[in-house]
Amino acid sequence: GAVVSQHPSWVICKSGTSVKIECRSLDFQATTMFWYRQFPKQSLMLMATSNEGSKATYEQGVEKDKFLINHASLTLSTLTVTSAHPEDSSFYICSAPRRLAGDDTQYFGPGTRLTVL
């Protein structure tokens, strides 16, 4: 079946540094990918829609200069958390819709746990 991977699965960084998270669709192409954030014991909140070849669309309240999204190819989207701070510590999850005639399905990555010290 279709698979979406994320790398790294977990990362610890110092405050002030930047961290890049990759989201890949392994066996299908995705012109759109979605980035979500999940706080402990809470729901997933949509951060942005990543669009291949164009700028990402950010949800209200999400700082686009802090959470940089690049969708450089049909199988890869990256989320860079710039100048990370402890409040950015969270679980980041991407998803990619696979569009087939008569059966569009969205696949989620396993998530990346970010801890900022």
Partner 1 sequence: AQSVTQPDIHITVSEGASLELRCNYSYGATPYLFWYVQSPGQGLQLLLKYFSGDTLVQGIKGFEAEFKRSQSSFNLRKPSVHWSDAAEYFCAVGTGTASKLTFGTGTRLQVTL
Q: Which is nearer to partner 1, 64 or 85 (CB)?
A: 64
Q: Which is nearer to partner 1, 18 or 105 (CB)?
A: 105
Q: From the CB of residue 116, how many other CB atoms can be counted at a distance below 10 Å?
A: 20
Indicate whether 67 belongs to the interface with partner 1 (CB under 8 A).
Answer: no
Residues 6+ apart with CB under 8 A from 100: none
Applying CB under 8 A, which part among 11-19, 28-36, 66-74, 77-85 lies near partner 1? 28-36
Residue 54, beta-bridge partner list: none
Q: Which is nearer to partner 1, 43 or 87 (CB)?
A: 43
Indicate whether 4 belongs to the interface with partner 1 (CB under 8 A).
Answer: yes
Residue 57: C-alpha distances to residues 26, 47, 79 (Å): 23, 9, 13
Residue 25 CA to residue 100 CA, distance in Å, equals: 14
The residue ranges that bind partner 1 (CB under 8 A) are: 4, 32, 34, 36, 42-46, 49, 93, 95, 97-99, 103-111
